[in-house]
Chain A
Amino acid sequence: MNWQAIRSIYTFEMARFFRTLMQSFISPVISTSLYFVVFGAAIGSRIDQVDGVSYGAFIVPGLIMLSVMTQAISNASFGIYFPKFIGTIYELLSAPVNFLEIVIGYVGAATTKALFIGIVILATSALFVDLQIQHPFAMMAFMLLTCVSFALFGFIIGIWAQNFEQLQLIPLLIVTPLVFLGGSFYSISMLPPVWQTITLFNPVVYLISGFRWAFFGMADVPIGLSLLAISGVTALCMIGVWWIFKTGWRIRK
Chain B
Amino acid sequence: MSEILSVRDLVKRYDDGFEALKGVTLSIEQGEILALLGPNGAGKTTLISTICGITEGTSGTVTVGGHDIVKGYRDARRMIGLVPQEISLEPFERVINTVRFSRGLFGKPKDEAHLEKILRELSLWDKKDNRIMELSGGMKRRVLIAKALSHEPEVLFLDEPTAGVDVELRKDMWEIVAALKASGTTIILTTHYIEEAEAIADRVGVIAKGELLLVEEKQALMTRMGKKQLQIDLSAPLIEVPDVLSKYDLQLVQDGTALLYTYDTRAERTGITGLLADLASAGLSMSDLQTKQSSLEDIFVGLVAEDAA
What residue of chain B has the Cβ atom nearest to residue A9's Cβ?
B105
Q: 8 Å CB contacts to B: which residues of A62-117?
A: 82-83, 86-88, 90-97
Determine if A141 is an interface residue (Cβ-Cβ < 8 Å): no
> Contact between A96 and B88 (Cβ–Cβ < 8 Å)?
no
> Contact between A5 and B56 (Cβ–Cβ < 8 Å)?
no
Contacts of A92 in B (CB 8 A): 105
B298 to chain A, nearest CB (A): 35
Once A5-B104, A19-B92, A86-B88 are accepted as A-B contacts, the answer to whether A94 and B55 lie under 8 Å apart by CB is: no
Interface of A is mostly: helix
> Contact between A7 and B104 (Cβ–Cβ < 8 Å)?
yes
Determine if B78 is an interface residue (Cβ-Cβ < 8 Å): yes
Question: Measured between alpha carbons, how far is A91 from B54 in the docked complex, in Å?
Answer: 8
Number of interface residues of A (CB under 8 A): 27
Contacts of A19 in B (CB 8 A): 92
Number of interface residues of B (CB under 8 A): 35
Contacts of B147 in A (CB 8 A): 91
> Contact between B54 and A15 (Cβ–Cβ < 8 Å)?
no
> Contact between A93 and B101 (Cβ–Cβ < 8 Å)?
no
> Contact between A252 and B90 (Cβ–Cβ < 8 Å)?
no
Determine if A4 is an interface residue (Cβ-Cβ < 8 Å): yes
Determine if A12 is an interface residue (Cβ-Cβ < 8 Å): yes
> Contact between B107 and A96 (Cβ–Cβ < 8 Å)?
yes
Determine if A177 is an interface residue (Cβ-Cβ < 8 Å): no
Question: Measured between alpha carbons, how far is A12 from B103 in the docked complex, in Å?
Answer: 12
> Contact between A5 and B105 (Cβ–Cβ < 8 Å)?
yes
Determine if B84 is an interface residue (Cβ-Cβ < 8 Å): yes
Question: Measured between alpha carbons, how far is A221 from B130 in the docked complex, in Å?
Answer: 54
Question: Measured between alpha carbons, how far is A87 from B147 in the docked complex, in Å?
Answer: 15
Contacts of B82 in A (CB 8 A): 90-91, 94
> Contact between B88 and A97 (Cβ–Cβ < 8 Å)?
no
Q: 8 Å CB contacts to A: which residues of B63-110?
A: 73-78, 80, 82, 84, 86, 88-93, 97, 100-109
Q: 8 Å CB contacts to B: which residues of A156-196?
A: none
Determine if A8 is an interface residue (Cβ-Cβ < 8 Å): yes
> Contact between B105 and A88 (Cβ–Cβ < 8 Å)?
no
Question: Measured between alpha carbons, how far is A188 from B6 in the docked complex, in Å?
Answer: 65
Question: Measured between alpha carbons, how far is A90 from B54 in the docked complex, in Å?
Answer: 6
Contacts of A5 in B (CB 8 A): 104-107
A24 to chain B, nearest CB (A): 15
Determine if B52 is an interface residue (Cβ-Cβ < 8 Å): yes
Contacts of B100 in A (CB 8 A): 8
Contacts of A2 in B (CB 8 A): 74, 107
From A7, A86, A94, A96, contact of B90 by CB (8 A): A86
Q: Mark A1-45, 1 if CB is under 8 A from B, else 0.
A: 010110111011001100100000000000000000000000000
> Contact between A15 and B97 (Cβ–Cβ < 8 Å)?
yes
From B52, B74, B88, contact of A88 by CB (8 A): B88
Q: Could you say which of B88, B91, B93, B109 has the most chain A C-beta atoms within 10 Å of its C-beta?
A: B88
Once A4-B109, A253-B15 are accepted as A-B contacts, the answer to whether A94 and B52 lie under 8 Å apart by CB is: yes
Question: Measured between alpha carbons, how far is A5 from B107 in the docked complex, in Å?
Answer: 5
From A8, A82, A253, contact of B101 by CB (8 A): A8
Interface residues of A (CB under 8 A from B): 2, 4-5, 7-9, 11-12, 15-16, 19, 82-83, 86-88, 90-97, 248, 252-253
